[in-house]
Amino acid sequence: MDKRQLGRSSLRVAPLCFGGNVFGWTADKETSFSLLDAFVAARFNFIDTADVYSRWAPGHEGGESEAIIGEWLASRKNRAKVVIATKVGSEMGPGMKGLAKARIREAVEASLRRLQTDYIDLYQSHYDDPETSVEETLETYSQLIGEGKVRVLGASNFTGERLEESLAASAKFGFARYETLQPEYNLCERERFEREFAPICAREEIGVIPYFSLAAGFLTGKYRSEADLQGRARAARAGRYLNERGYRILEALDAVAGELGATPAQVAIAWLMARPTIAAPIASATSLDQLEDLLRATQLTLPPEMIAKLDAASG
């Protein structure tokens, strides 16, 4: 199994990250446990979640995903075998938002309790907090690392300017720095990452763990017309790609998948894995069949001419 390093940190992960947003939401506890068991049995080790998952669902308060992962870790007694990433910064209730010292301190203890662990491998700023200085945030994180509660830091949904500001502050004051970036990046969403973030990540050796790797399911090929979107609560985002460019991307995916005996989803993930600076694309699954499809993507090697075909179609 290919192992990749998260930025300049010592954390090494398999080339695919399981997106834990589904745990406790579209995957109940029993299903979540079976998915996590299968993921680890296949020798993968990287699981991503956030304190806010799945606060958006009716009757949920946030923390549902972390709690299920925590129960699974406790029952399987395999904490040392997996890399757990979670996030702070999203709103968890009135006054419970952002990256100020008090909020981070409160949030990390809550995440540790739910995850039933005494350390978090990768702790990420979910969203930037323009009302808090990067120095305050990074100093707090550095203290948590010193206390053994956090191992490595990551950023998500930042601007390139704010990421640069954070890296400069770490260098100037000796704070721990962001070693990973979690941006939206896939065959349908290329322009912003490649223009704004890719040069920074390459220069600073930051590991990239992109979310929406399958463009909200569009790159699986299951949404090819407006009719395919009907009755699917999560399909609205995929609908934005039903245009000339989106159909061109699907045509290229179908062609490459046909040549390799693969699925469009596998090819889309393999394309990401072949990009410079990508440590591990994030993808979710709610069934064992879906998970198997994703894991097979890590066995694909796209020839240069097929990468060029996908680049041209999505450019």
The catalytic site residues sit at 53
For residue 54, whether the previous peptide bond is cis, meaning omega lies within 30 degrees of 0, is: yes
Q: Is the dihedral of CA 136, 169, 52, 31 positive or negative?
A: negative
Per the rule left: phi > 0, alpha: psi between -120 and 50, beta: everything else, 215 is left
Vertex 101 angle, CA 137 and 61, to 5°: 105
Q: How far is CA 123 from the centre of its chain?
A: 12
Neighbours of 83 (CB within 10 A): 21
Decide if 214 contacts 220 (C-beta within 8 A).
yes
Residue 285: exposure state from Cβ atoms within 10 A (0-12, 13-18, ≥19): buried
Side chain identity at 252, as an amino acid letter? A
SS3 of 80-131 = HHCEEEEEECCCCCCCCCCCCHHHHHHHHHHHHHHHCCCCEEEEEECCCCCC
Q: How far apart, in whole angstroms, are the C-alpha atoms of residue 284 and residue 43?
A: 17
Q: How far apart, in whole angstroms, are the C-alpha atoms of residue 53 and residue 66?
A: 8
Please state the φ and ψ torsions of residue 63, each to the nearest 5 degrees.
90, -5
Strand-pair category, 120-125 with 150-156: parallel
Q: Is the dihedral of CA 223, 229, 233, 234 positive or negative?
A: positive
Side chain identity at 84, as an amino acid letter? I
